[in-house]
Amino acid sequence: MSRVDPVLTGASVRRVREALALDRTRFAALLGCDPRTLYRWENVGEATLRIDPFQRRLLVLLDQVIARRGDDASLILGRRIFKALEQGDTLRGLYVLLIAAFD
Protein backbone atom coordinates (compact mmCIF):
# COMPACT_ATOMS: atom_id res chain seq x y z
CA MET A 1 0.00 0.00 0.00
CA SER A 2 1.59 3.30 -1.05
CA ARG A 3 1.21 6.49 0.93
CA VAL A 4 0.24 9.63 -0.94
CA ASP A 5 1.73 12.82 0.48
CA PRO A 6 -0.67 15.73 0.72
CA VAL A 7 -0.13 18.54 -1.75
CA LEU A 8 1.79 21.37 -0.11
CA THR A 9 1.29 24.81 -1.64
CA GLY A 10 2.54 28.26 -0.78
CA ALA A 11 -0.98 29.17 0.31
CA SER A 12 -1.11 26.22 2.72
CA VAL A 13 2.23 27.23 4.24
CA ARG A 14 0.93 30.75 4.80
CA ARG A 15 -2.34 29.41 6.25
CA VAL A 16 -0.42 27.29 8.79
CA ARG A 17 1.85 30.19 9.79
CA GLU A 18 -1.08 32.57 10.19
CA ALA A 19 -3.12 30.03 12.17
CA LEU A 20 -0.24 29.87 14.65
CA ALA A 21 0.11 33.68 14.63
CA LEU A 22 3.86 33.40 14.04
CA ASP A 23 5.84 35.91 12.03
CA ARG A 24 7.99 34.71 9.14
CA THR A 25 11.24 34.94 11.11
CA ARG A 26 10.07 32.68 13.92
CA PHE A 27 8.23 30.28 11.65
CA ALA A 28 11.32 29.99 9.43
CA ALA A 29 13.40 29.21 12.53
CA LEU A 30 10.99 26.41 13.44
CA LEU A 31 11.27 24.98 9.91
CA GLY A 32 15.03 25.46 9.74
CA CYS A 33 15.02 27.78 6.74
CA ASP A 34 15.82 31.39 5.96
CA PRO A 35 12.90 33.84 6.30
CA ARG A 36 13.47 34.88 2.65
CA THR A 37 12.95 31.27 1.61
CA LEU A 38 9.69 31.14 3.56
CA TYR A 39 8.65 34.40 1.87
CA ARG A 40 9.27 32.86 -1.57
CA TRP A 41 7.34 29.72 -0.64
CA GLU A 42 4.33 31.69 0.55
CA ASN A 43 4.28 33.84 -2.57
CA VAL A 44 3.92 30.96 -5.03
CA GLY A 45 0.24 30.81 -4.08
CA GLU A 46 -1.48 27.61 -5.14
CA ALA A 47 1.59 26.16 -6.88
CA THR A 48 2.92 22.92 -5.39
CA LEU A 49 6.12 23.32 -3.42
CA ARG A 50 9.15 21.10 -3.78
CA ILE A 51 10.92 21.37 -0.45
CA ASP A 52 13.12 19.39 1.89
CA PRO A 53 11.38 16.22 3.15
CA PHE A 54 11.93 17.17 6.80
CA GLN A 55 10.38 20.60 6.30
CA ARG A 56 7.53 18.99 4.37
CA ARG A 57 6.83 16.60 7.25
CA LEU A 58 6.82 19.45 9.76
CA LEU A 59 4.42 21.51 7.67
CA VAL A 60 2.06 18.58 7.10
CA LEU A 61 2.15 17.76 10.82
CA LEU A 62 1.41 21.38 11.75
CA ASP A 63 -1.47 21.48 9.26
CA GLN A 64 -2.94 18.27 10.73
CA VAL A 65 -2.61 19.53 14.32
CA ILE A 66 -4.29 22.82 13.40
CA ALA A 67 -7.12 21.04 11.58
CA ARG A 68 -7.70 18.74 14.54
CA ARG A 69 -7.48 21.35 17.30
CA GLY A 70 -9.27 24.36 15.81
CA ASP A 71 -8.56 28.08 15.89
CA ASP A 72 -8.29 28.81 19.61
CA ALA A 73 -6.10 25.80 20.33
CA SER A 74 -3.92 26.69 17.33
CA LEU A 75 -3.30 30.16 18.76
CA ILE A 76 -2.35 28.65 22.11
CA LEU A 77 0.00 26.23 20.36
CA GLY A 78 1.45 29.11 18.36
CA ARG A 79 2.06 31.09 21.56
CA ARG A 80 3.83 28.14 23.17
CA ILE A 81 6.02 27.69 20.10
CA PHE A 82 6.63 31.46 19.97
CA LYS A 83 7.74 31.48 23.61
CA ALA A 84 10.23 28.68 22.99
CA LEU A 85 11.58 30.42 19.88
CA GLU A 86 11.81 33.74 21.75
CA GLN A 87 14.08 32.03 24.24
CA GLY A 88 16.26 30.89 21.34
CA ASP A 89 15.26 27.27 21.72
CA THR A 90 14.21 25.86 18.35
CA LEU A 91 14.35 22.29 19.67
CA ARG A 92 11.91 23.23 22.42
CA GLY A 93 9.61 24.67 19.75
CA LEU A 94 9.73 21.37 17.88
CA TYR A 95 9.10 19.51 21.13
CA VAL A 96 5.99 21.62 21.79
CA LEU A 97 4.77 20.76 18.29
CA LEU A 98 5.36 17.03 18.75
CA ILE A 99 3.59 16.98 22.11
CA ALA A 100 0.59 18.69 20.48
CA ALA A 101 0.64 16.22 17.59
CA PHE A 102 0.51 13.16 19.81
CA ASP A 103 -1.71 14.60 22.55
Question: What confidence score (pLDDT) does residue 2 get?
Answer: 39
SS3 9: strand
Judge whether residue 3 has pLDDT over 60: no
**CA-CA-CA-CA torsion for 56, 60, 63, 69, nearest 10 degrees?**
-140
pLDDT tens digits, 17-26: 998 888 999 8
pLDDT tens digits, 52-82: 888 888 888 888 888 887 777 777 877 888 7
15, burial (CB in 10 Å: exposed 0-12, middle 13-18, buried 19+) = middle
pLDDT category at 5 given cuts 50, 70, 90 is low
